Amino acid sequence: MVRRAQALVRLGELREDTGALREARSALEAVSGAPASDPALRPALGRVLLALLPRTPDPAERTALAGEAAEHLAAGLAAAQAAAQAAAAPDGPSGAAAARLRVELATALRYLPGRLEEAAVQLGLALTEAAAGEAELRLAALVCLARVHRARSARDADPAALEDAAEAYGRARRLIPRDADAYGELLPEWGDVLLDRARAADGRRFTSAAVRVLRDSRAAVPQSDPRSAQRLVRLAEGLRLRHAYEGDVVDLREAEYLLELAVRQSRSPLEQARAWREHGDVQQEIHAHTRAPDRLDRAADSYRRAWRCALAADREDRRDVAVELGARVQELRGEVLERLARPRAALDAYRSALELWTRLGDAAAGRREALGSRVRTLEAGL
């Protein structure tokens, strides 16, 4: 039964389908509660629930699943400890088996905000128990530890937790060869943590590290990779943030080039819309340095392109996200056109934004009211 569950979990990963996982869950739940059931069944069920967690979009259901997974994995760890004590090993299970169970338990606890400290304790024990030669297990523990600290930061708004996460990612990085797949997968998470820390209070000293890691992240995948465009955008964000601290316009010009490259490499209209929006922001930032009027013209054109891409994304999926982005870039375009003394064109942009905000219903009532007042003011001046 345990081996069959393992096969179904792997099948679910390959097919990116929860059907096999739910089949494994049902089969294990039917037998794991029986009085004479094998102790291996409960951690096996916990692992199936772990595989379901990232594929469960509903937050309440995901929290419930995480609690169940943690209960089964903790029971498996306790059973292993009891078996070791019965065999005259008073310190409990040791080595890779215990460390792996602790990492899996911590992975479940990561989804439970009230138990993040417990997760960190389990990972500390796992790192102690894993032998130096078990690099793959130590890597899993360190990556999970970094994610636990990120969750702590989200819960407590504590920049120090981001520093702990960055330190754990750095330790994990030293365990991965540059040509390994895990190398390219780790870098975006590490870069995002450094970028978030750079945005927080006293973040200047983290900006160059963020740019360096995000640059490595971009170089770790070929241009044909579907993830390439997003990594270009993130690197551009890092460069813009470093410019905000240090004022070097070279960072802005590189960000401008990277965003144009991201548009060309992106396969998604929504990704393209986001890149064009960032491109428009960069044009305004460069204008603040050079005072060249053509930069404002370029900003208005970038926001127009972002709006067009958002409309294209609206016809595909993630409709509310695309509509909101389209409304915001039309507002930004209107502001730039006002600065260029083109009130009629600005009014058209604002009216378009107002129409998009209206489509979002009550959630955008505040934005709709403020923009409506702005439209009436412009109309009165024409």
Query: Token pair for residue 310?
Result: 């958002």
Say which residue the tokens 């770790």 belong to: 220
* Structure confidence by residue, pLDDT tens digits, 215-268: 999 999 998 899 999 999 999 999 999 999 999 999 999 999 999 999 999 989
Are the CB atoms for 236 and 255 separated by under 8 Å?
yes
Are the CB atoms for 260 and 233 separated by under 8 Å?
no
Are the CB atoms for 172 and 142 separated by under 8 Å?
yes
Are the CB atoms for 330 and 353 separated by under 8 Å?
yes
Are the CB atoms for 18 and 2 separated by under 8 Å?
no
Instruction: Say what the pTM is.
Output: 0.90
* Structure confidence by residue, pLDDT tens digits, 62-90: 999 999 999 999 999 998 877 767 765 54
Query: What is the DSSP code (8-state) at residue 200?
Result: S
Q: Supply the pLDDT for residue 155.
A: 96
Kindly provide the b/e burial profile for residues 61-82, where b requires at least 16 CB atoms within 10 angstroms of the residue's own CB: ebeebbbbbbbbbbbbbebbbe
d(CA 99, CA 230): 34
